[in-house]
Structure 1
Amino acid sequence: MHKSCLKVISLYVPLMRHEEQGHHREGGNVYLENSWFSQMLRGNGEQDPKKLTYNKYDVAESRVNTYLKADMVFLPINITKCHWYLAVVCASKGEIQVLDSFGEKMTNWQDLRYTLIGMERLIKHVAKKIQLDTSKWVHGIEVSSWKPRHMITEQMQKDVCSCGLWMINYMEYWTGTNLSNHVTQV
């Protein structure tokens, strides 16, 4: 289940990035992170704070600048071999919006915490070398201190294996305040 879901997510996110409506939503400009880089951020959050596992500086600088130009950064989060959900780093509100197909039942956000620590470390690493434009991020770049908030309160997923597909739907239809398309499981 996990490997095939990872493959689908890894292929579908780049496709969504190329669709024009995927970049501009009611809540502002969006950046859709891929599952590999999101996993790398989590790894950096779990590691020794003095070293990053990803050290290609030009790629890191480009990625951080892309984050800081976005109003919302969509991060696919995987509880290893267990469950997928979406975390939205919402710069204008200084909050982390959690969209989970299990609704408020899932509260183990350890993977999210590590991912946010990794994201913050990456931003700070780049900030040591260049001046960053943080004007859109009015609440600062300390994303690991931003409060997570459940945006999907009722359980939508009726089985034990479709969480990755739900997460993709959230990436595609989340506007920053609601889902632009009614998504259900039959």
Structure 2
Amino acid sequence: MIKFSLPMQVFMPFQVKQQHWIVVVIMNKEEEFQILDSSWKLQDYEPEIKKLIHGIAYIAKTVPTAPQNVGSWNIIQKQNVPKQTDGSSCGLYIIKYMELWNGSRLLKEFTQADIDNFRKEMAAQLIFAEANEALGVKEAVEALMSREDADS
């Protein structure tokens, strides 16, 4: 028999309407699904969330020790999260939500300006990551940075 054990919360990045990223948080103890969204309202995509939950409930029924009432859990859009002021940062917001959400609040607040800086930091981390084997990319970026330093 499969032993089923879930952590208190499970983060699921989820794309809605093929254009916007949100986080669905499965809160096992509370028996609810939390929606963390940087700009849209739950009503804009609720049928997609219900379809996702239906799939989760279907899978849970195949595991005898899993909660069998998942399909009836409440869906709650959390309002106490930062909202984006642009049209392109939802993916970065969900990364921050997953990093900082404790199930009821963010451990640290952040703003659109913080997200703009995070975008640059993430790009640098990915470009200069040891695992990045793209030929010439690191050197090209370093050359650009050197040129900018010389111009300033």
Question: 1:177 aligned to 2:114?
Answer: no
Rg comparison, structure with higher value: 2
Give the counterpart letter for 1:76 in structure 2.
Answer: P
Contact 1:83 1:163 in 2 (8 A): yes
Normalization by structure 2: what TM-score?
0.64
Q: Which runs of 5+ in 1 are unaligned?
A: 1-60, 135-139
Give the counterpart letter for 2:62 in structure 1.
Answer: H
Question: 1:69 aligned to 2:6?
Answer: yes
Normalization by structure 1: what TM-score?
0.53
How many Å separate the matches in 2 of 1:163 and 1:94?
26
Aligned residue number for residue 162 of structure 1? 89
Q: Please give the per-residue CA displacement for 1:2-38, whole angstroms capped at 9, x wherever unaligned.
A: xxxxxxxxxxxxxxxxxxxxxxxxxxxxxxxxxxxxx
Equivalent residue for 1:98, pick from 30, 35, 54: 35
Contact 2:11 2:24 in 1 (8 A): yes
Aligned residue number for residue 142 of structure 1? 69
Deviation at 1:155, TM superposition (A): 6.2
Contact 1:78 1:111 in 2 (8 A): no
Deviation at 1:153, TM superposition (A): 4.9
**SS in structure 2 at match of 1:166:** helix
How many Å separate the matches in 2 of 1:155 and 1:111?
23
How many Å separate the matches in 1 of 2:57 and 2:97?
23
Q: Which runs of 5+ in 2 are unaligned?
A: 114-152
Deviation at 1:80, TM superposition (A): 4.1
RMSD of aligned residue pairs (Cα, Å): 2.1
1:51-90 equivalent positions in 2, closer than 5 A:
65=4, 68-90=5-27
Number of equivalent positions: 111
Give the counterpart letter for 1:70 in structure 2.
Answer: P
Task: Report % sequence identity.
Answer: 30
Q: Larger RCO: Structure 1 or Structure 2 (Cα < 8 Å, ≥ 6 residues apart)?
A: 1
Give the counterpart letter for 1:156 in structure 2.
Answer: K
Q: Please give the per-residue CA displacement for 1:112-132, whole angstroms capped at 9, x wherever unaligned.
A: 1111111111121233xxxx2
How many Å separate the matches in 1 of 2:60 and 2:94?
25
Question: 1:126 aligned to 2:126?
Answer: no
How many Å separate the matches in 2 of 1:146 and 1:102?
24
Deviation at 1:69, TM superposition (A): 2.5
Q: Please give the per-residue CA displacement for 1:84-120, whole angstroms capped at 9, x wherever unaligned.
A: 10111111111111110016x3422222111111111
Contact 2:22 2:94 in 1 (8 A): yes
